[in-house]
Structure 1
Amino acid sequence: MKKYLPIVLLILVMLTGCNSDSVYTPPYDGKNLVIGVIGNFPKVREDNVKFKKINFNKIEEEKNLSSKFDAIFIMKEHLSEAANNRYAAVYKNSGIPFFFIESKKSYLAFVNEQFSYESAPDLGDPTYATGIYHFGKGKYQYCGYGLYNDKVNENNIKDVYSRIFTTTESGKCY
C-alpha cells in the first residue's frame, strides 16, 4: 500500500486543481491608468493603476474629467446616489468610462433620467460591474463584467478589475 501512496496523492492534487472556483487571467499590463473612485478603493493585482478619491460634486463640476482620469469607479454603497438624474449628462458626455461596481441594476439607471436606482430594471444575468462609455454624438457602449462561475471570491473579483482596466485602455468592451 505504501508504494501506491505517492500516486494516490498525485491524483488527489490533480483533481483538486481541476475543481477550482476561480479563473486566472493575467493582470493588466498596459499603460499606467489613473482611476477616480467614489467610495473605497478596490483591491487589485496591478501596480500600474493608481486610484484617486473623487466625489459627485467633483464629477459634476469638472469640465474635463478625461484630462485627469482614465475612468471613474462608483462603488456599491454610492449606486443609489449615482443614479440621480443630474449625473446622467456627466456619464453620457465625459469621454471616459464609468463603472458601477456591484450594481444589480441595468445601466439605464444611470443614463436614463426617468429612472431612479430603485425603479430601474434589474439585470437579468449576474454581473459584478456595469460600465458605460460615451464616445460622442449620443453613442455609448454598455459593458457587463461577470464573475467566473458566478462565484464571489478575491481572485474572481481581481479578474474583473483586470478586464475593466483592459477595457479602459482600449475603449472597447470585450
Structure 2
Amino acid sequence: MFRYIFPGALLILMIMMLTGCASNSVDTPLYDGQSLEIGVIGDAPAIRERNISFTEMSFDDLKECSVFPNTVDAVFIGKDYLSEAAEPEYAQVYKNAGVPFFFIESMKSYIPFVYKDLSYEEVPDMESGTYITGYYQSGGKMQYWGYGLYNDKVNSVNIKDAYSRIFATIASLSP
C-alpha cells in the first residue's frame, strides 16, 4: 500500500510546485477604506471594489481645477489621452489642483505632465516596469508614485491589484 501512496503524493507535490512557479498573477486584499470618487478622462477601469465611484471628465474640466477637492478625490487619465494631458496648459493644473493624478500606462513617469517645456513625445520612455504613474502636489510638497504589475505581467488580476493599491494611496492623502 505504501508504494501506491508515496508516488501519488510525490506527483501531487510536483504539480503544486510547478503551478506555484508559473504564477503570473497575485491576489491581494481589496481596498476597503472610505468611499472614493475618481474623475476619469478615458474609460473607467475594471476594479474589484464597490466603494469606488467614477465620474467622466474632459480636458475642459481640468481647466476648472478650483473645483477638484470638492468633487473628486483623484483623477485618472487613460493611455489614449496622455499626449494631450502633457500639453503645457495643464502643467499648473496638476500642481495646483489639490488632488492626485494617475497617468495610466505612461512609460514616461510624471515628467511630461508637470514640465510645460516638454511634450509627451520628447520625454524618453523609462524602463522601470511602472504601469501607472501617480503625481500629487500640495502645500509646496510634491509626491509621485509608480505602480507596477506582479511579475510585469499585464492581466486582469494584476491590474486590479494595482488599482487597489492606488485607492489606498488616495485615501492616505485625505485629511
For residue 10 of structure 1, report the CA deviation from its aligned partner. Answer: 4.8
For residue 171 of structure 1, report the CA deviation from its aligned partner. Answer: 2.1
- SS of 1:63's partner is helix
> Which runs of 5 or more residues in structure 2 are unaligned?
none
- SS of 2:102's partner is strand
Structure 2 CA distance, aligned partners of 1:44 and 1:9? 34
- Report which stretch shifted further, 155-164 or 121-130: 121-130
Instruction: Determine whether 1:115 maps to 2:118.
Output: yes
- Report which stretch shifted further, 9-18 or 98-107: 9-18
Q: Percent identity at matched positions?
A: 53
**Superposition CA RMSD, Å:** 1.7
- SS of 1:164's partner is helix
For residue 15 of structure 1, report the CA deviation from its aligned partner. Answer: 3.1
Pick aligned residue for 2:43 from 40, 43, 59: 40
Instruction: State the match for 1:63 in structure 2.
Output: 66
Instruction: Determine whether 1:102 maps to 2:131.
Output: no
Structure 1 CA distance, aligned partners of 2:158 and 2:145? 17
Write the letter of the residue equivalent to 1:17: G
For residue 62 of structure 1, report the CA deviation from its aligned partner. Answer: 4.2
- SS of 2:164's partner is helix
For residue 7 of structure 1, report the CA deviation from its aligned partner. Answer: 4.7
For residue 142 of structure 1, report the CA deviation from its aligned partner. Answer: 1.1
- On the 8 A contact 2:65/2:96 being kept in 1, the answer is no
Instruction: State the match for 1:160 in structure 2.
Output: 162
Count of aligned pairs: 171
State the TM-score, normalizing by the size of structure 2.
0.91
Pick aligned residue for 2:55 from 52, 55, 62: 52
Structure 2 CA distance, aligned partners of 1:136 and 1:64? 17
> Which runs of 5 or more residues in structure 1 are unaligned?
none
State the TM-score, normalizing by the size of structure 1.
0.91
List per-residue Cα deviations over 1:65-86 (Å, max 9, x = no partner): 0110000000000000000010
- SS of 2:130's partner is coil
For residue 17 of structure 1, report the CA deviation from its aligned partner. Answer: 3.1
- Report which stretch shifted further, 126-135 or 56-65: 56-65
- SS of 1:168's partner is helix
For residue 55 of structure 1, report the CA deviation from its aligned partner. Answer: 0.6
Structure 2 CA distance, aligned partners of 1:135 and 1:69? 15
Instruction: State the match for 2:131 in structure 1.
Output: 128
Write the letter of the residue equivalent to 1:143: W
- On the 8 A contact 1:106/1:120 being kept in 2, the answer is no
Runs of 4+ in structure 1 deviating by more than 4 angstroms, as ranges, are none
List per-residue Cα deviations over 1:40-71 (Å, max 9, x = no partner): 11011111111110111012124220110000
Structure 2 CA distance, aligned partners of 1:162 and 1:108? 24
Instruction: Determine whether 1:5 maps to 2:11.
Output: no
| Larger Rg belongs to | 2
Structure 2 CA distance, aligned partners of 1:16 and 1:148? 16
